[in-house]
Amino acid sequence: MKPVSELSGRTVVLGVSGGVAAYKSAELARLLVKAGADVRVVMTESAQHFVGPATFQAITGQAVWSDPWDARMPNGMAHIDLTRDAQLILIAPATADCIARLAQGRADDLLSTLCLARDEGCALMVAPAMNRQMWEHPATRRNVATLVDDGTYMEGPAAGEQACGEVGAGRMVEPADLLEAVLSHFTPKSLAGRQVLITAGPTSEAIDPVRVITNLSSGRMGYALAQAAVRAGARVTLVSGPTALALPRGVRRIDVASARDMRDAVMNNLSGTDVFVSVAAVADYRPASPSGRKIKKSADSMSLELVRNPDILAEVAARADAPFCVGFAAESHELDSYAQDKRRSKRLPLVVGNLVSDGLGSEDNLVVLYDDEGRHPLERASKAAVARAILEHISRLLKG
Ligand code: PMT
């Protein structure tokens, strides 16, 4: 199986209208290109007062369009041809004037004409950016309501300090969040209505108030799965050991430290869970009696007595009302046999195996999926792409 870039094969027309936030659209264009999209930029005339077409041309590697009479389009039909094979027009920033013209169905510049002339397969997503009073004005409220009625997806605006110094709603949603909205828009909702519980990251077992036993898990694999599951329409709870990662949009996170904290958080949030994915690198052992005070240096050596931690996945999978359970196996060698053993001993429908040298702490991963039908190797890819492929496999098994 070959994981693919999130937006490969997608064509997005990025409309830029004349607001200060236009400079952020250059970053948005870069993120869309990085995610694999074919990005065509269309600027209004006023947008070019804020940022130049050359910036977008360099980022996307494509011509930038703004003039409906542009002779570069061989048949003189830029207003139609630019969206013919596009699946999305994203306007960011969309000024109050741009929104008003879209609501009226005007066609007096290239961007508004493209929106009017697009066919059904091309959605329209709008990220407003304007002064807070312009946003709150009844005329803008009416225009936005009309666009929403027409099936337009509105992203934002966000609230905060504005370029004019005032504070309120009217800031353009940040480029990373707009990318997330685009990715969500294109993700099939294969987990719609499902509740997914995921553990991620390392656990941390206290030796004394300043020392712990932990491991090198970064949490990236689990967080990538949480993000992919939200995009696929699931309600997601992430029980996370200590990590430095940002919380993916739409995910509910419960922070824990030790394996026993993680076990309690999982059990307290299991009700209603359809799918449990145990990605966390849970410490199998913890110090038998952690010291309440900092241990002082004295003898030349010291021993630490360790006791077994609860096996969270085994406990969940053994329940009469167990959700669909997915385990991970991180091995240094003999991946196939150890992963299969874990699948059998914990009676799991699916185990994701990875060598620690491939997956632990890294940005990408190389995994093999093990289920009743055998082994399914995936190609090495970013953890986001691997997560998508794992979730596609899970939703196929759920349907089966
Ligand atoms: O966090 P990253 O840096 O992105 O790295 C990802 C990863 C390598 C940690 C991840 O891909 C992975 O393999 N996670 C499982 C690591 C592990 O602890 O495997 P294990 O073979 O020890 O455990 C088997 C399964 O039982 C796992 O699903 C584990 O979550 C679960 N387990 C283990 C022990 C325990 N006490 N409770 C558990 O629930």
Please tell me which residue in 115, 122, 164, 325 is annotated as part of the active site.
Answer: 164
Query: Across-strand partners of 378?
Result: none
Q: Which residues contact 241 (CB under 8 A, 6 or more apart)?
A: 199, 200, 201, 202, 203, 204, 217, 219, 256, 257, 262, 280, 281
Question: Is 1 within a domain?
Answer: no
User: How far does the centroid of ligand 1 lie from the alpha carbon of residue 383, in Å?
Assistant: 15
**CA of 243, closest atom in ligand 1:** 1
pLDDT more than 70, % of the chain: 99
In a domain, 314, yes or no: yes
Confirm whether pTM is higher than 0.85: yes
Given 168, 186, 204, which residue is the final one in a domain?
186
Residue after which a domain boundary falls, among 186, 218, 246: 186
* Residue at 333 is within a domain: yes
Report the CATH number at residue 83: 3.40.50.1950
Does residue 65 surpass a pLDDT of 70?
yes
Residues 208 and 236 occupy one common structural domain: yes
* CA distance linking residue 354 with residue 364, whole number of Å: 11
> In whole angstroms, what is the distance from residue 223 CA to residue 250 CA?
12
Q: How many domains does the chain have?
A: 2
**In terms of domains, do 276 and 376 share one?**
yes
Q: Looking at the structure, tell me whether residues 181 and 222 fall in a common domain.
A: no
Q: How far away, in angstroms, is 357 Cα from ligand 1 center? A: 14
| 113 CB near ligand 1 (under 6 Å) | no
- Domain membership of residue 208 as a residue range: 195-287+305-399
Residue 239 and residue 171 in one domain: no
Active site residue 164: yes
Average pLDDT (177-185) is 95
Specify the residue for token string 């090495």: 380
Residue 28 shares a structural domain with residue 162:
yes
Cβ–ligand 1 contact at 351 (below 6 Å):
no
> Which CATH number does the domain housing residue 337 bear?
3.40.50.10300
Q: Residues 95-105: pLDDT tens digits?
A: 999 999 999 99
Both ends of the chain: CA-CA distance in Å? 19
- Ligand 1 centroid – CA 255 distance (Å): 17
For ligand 1, say whether the CB of 278 is within 6 Å of any of its atoms. yes
224 and 250 together in one domain: yes
Residue 101 forms part of a structural domain = yes
Whether 143 and 205 map to the same domain: the answer is no
Whether 205 and 340 map to the same domain: the answer is: yes
Band of pLDDT at residue 2, cut at 50, 70 and 90: low
pLDDT above 90: residue 73: no
Same domain? For 209 and 72 the reply is no
pLDDT category of residue 3 using cuts at 50, 70 and 90: low
Same domain, 243 and 309: yes
Residue 299 in domain: no
Best residue among 197, 266, 282, 332 to mutate for probing ligand 1's pocket (most ligand atoms within 8 Å of CB) is: 282
Each residue of 186-215: pLDDT tens digit?
999 999 999 999 999 999 999 999 999 999
Residues 24 and 110 in one domain: yes
- Are 364 and 275 part of one and the same domain? yes
